[in-house]
């Protein structure tokens, strides 16, 4: 009897769904850890890895070892990849940060975290000014899309994320993106609206590589962490929101150096 119960428990665990709620709950443990500057509340898997600015390092040697006051936090969830994306801004302290973090869970098991993958920009990084970025992003509407027909498909989100990163190497990529008329682009702290103007049309022979995706149809967003190889080897996060089939917001976080 005991054995049967144990087997039933195993089967349930193995076929567990990766839900939006459990992904966001796990992302919240990361947010709490960052506010506390302590990783003791994080449930890490036995194969856990921590990566910061595209380089693996000990979690104790990264941002989570220091408490930060978070002035803005927002998370999205990808139930197919079983991953979440959290953006946070700390503008008020002596060391300001704008951070994009993807969290991954192996085997659809959100009870533990297998990867924390962070791109972090601070003073001196590309177009960096955390309070300016905060001012722009606070005004945006990131409420979930209310109507199913306004939600972009996973395929469209992936396509838009890839086309955006391809603009530096593919002269046709910019024109393949469905720009919204009231679209806003916040690159570091640099603001452009409408966002479909002054875009690159090829010019580099090095595609932006190391792409990692978090795709969320409910908020209509894709975040791609990558290495911005077309302009150097810069660790980078590009997040794009699509509503009614058109791009509404673009955010970029770019660090100048790996590691």
The residue ranges that bind ligand NAG (CB under 6 A) are 17-18, 79-80, 82, 107-108, 129, 131-132, 141, 143, 145-146, 243
Give yes or no for a contact between 153 and 230, defined as CB atoms under 8 angstroms apart: no
Q: How far does Cα 242 stand from its chain's mean position?
A: 15
Element (H, E) at 154: helix 154-166
Cβ proximity to ligand NAG: between 85 and 168 the closer is: 85
Which residues, including other chains, have CB under 8 Å from residue 113's CB and lie 6 or more apart?
Answer: 26, 29, 30, 42, 43, 44, 45, 48, 103, 104, 105
Q: Which of 18/250 has CB closer to ligand NAG?
A: 18
Shortest separation between residue 91's beta carbon and ligand NAG, angstroms: 9
For ligand NAG, the closer of residues 92 and 131 by Cβ is 131
Q: Report, in Å, the least distance between residue 11 CB and ligand NAG.
A: 13
Nearest Cα to Cα of residue 50 among 99, 109, 102: 102
Q: In the complex, what is the shortest distance from the CB of residue 144 to ligand NAG, in angstroms, rounded to a whole number?
A: 7
Please tell me the distance from the alpha carbon of residue 207 to that of residue 120, in angstroms, as a whole number.
21
16 CA to centre of own chain: 24
User: CB of residue 63 vs ligand NAG: minimum separation in angstroms?
Assistant: 20
Among residues 89, 114, 112, 90, the alpha carbon closest in space to that of 102 is found at: 114
Provide the minimum distance between the beta carbon of 122 and ligand NAG in the complex, in angstroms, as a whole number. 11
Between the CA of residue 45 and those of 53, 113, 115, 188, what are the distances in Å? 21, 6, 9, 33
| Closest CB to ligand NAG among residues 146, 181 | 146
Residue 123 Cβ, how far from ligand NAG at the closest point, in Å? 7
Q: Which is nearer to ligand NAG, 109 or 170 (CB)?
A: 109
Q: Which is nearer to ligand NAG, 128 or 168 (CB)?
A: 128
């Amino acid at each position: 009897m005991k054995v049967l119960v144990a087997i039933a428990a195993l089967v349930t665990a193995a076929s567990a769904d990766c839900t939006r709620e459990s992904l966001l709950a796990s992302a919240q443990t990361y947010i709490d850890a960052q506010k506390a500057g302590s990783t003791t509340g994080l449930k890490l898997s036995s194969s856990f890895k921590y990566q910061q600015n595209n380089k693996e390092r000990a979690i104790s040697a990264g941002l989570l070892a220091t408490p930060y006051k978070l002035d803005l936090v927002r998370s999205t969830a990808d139930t197919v990849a079983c991953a979440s994306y959290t953006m946070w801004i700390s503008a008020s302290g002596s060391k300001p940060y704008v951070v994009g973090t993807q969290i991954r869970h192996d085997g659809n098991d959100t009870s533990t975290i297998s990867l924390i993958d962070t791109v972090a920009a601070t003073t001196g990084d590309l177009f960096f000014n955390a309070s300016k970025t905060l001012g722009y992003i606070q005004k945006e509407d990131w409420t979930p899309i209310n109507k199913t027909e306004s939600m972009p498909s996973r395929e469209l989100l992936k396509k838009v994320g890839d086309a955006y990163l391809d603009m530096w190497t593919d002269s046709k990529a910019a024109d393949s993106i469905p720009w919204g008329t009231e679209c806003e682009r916040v690159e570091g702290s640099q603001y452009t609206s409408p966002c479909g103007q002054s875009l690159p049309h090829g010019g580099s022979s090095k595609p932006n590589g190391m792409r990692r995706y978090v795709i969320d149809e409910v908020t209509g967003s894709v975040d791609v962490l990558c290495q911005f190889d077309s302009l150097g080897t810069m660790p980078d996060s590009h997040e794009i929101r699509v509503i009614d089939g058109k791009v509404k917001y673009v955010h970029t976080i770019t660090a100048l150096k790996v590691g």
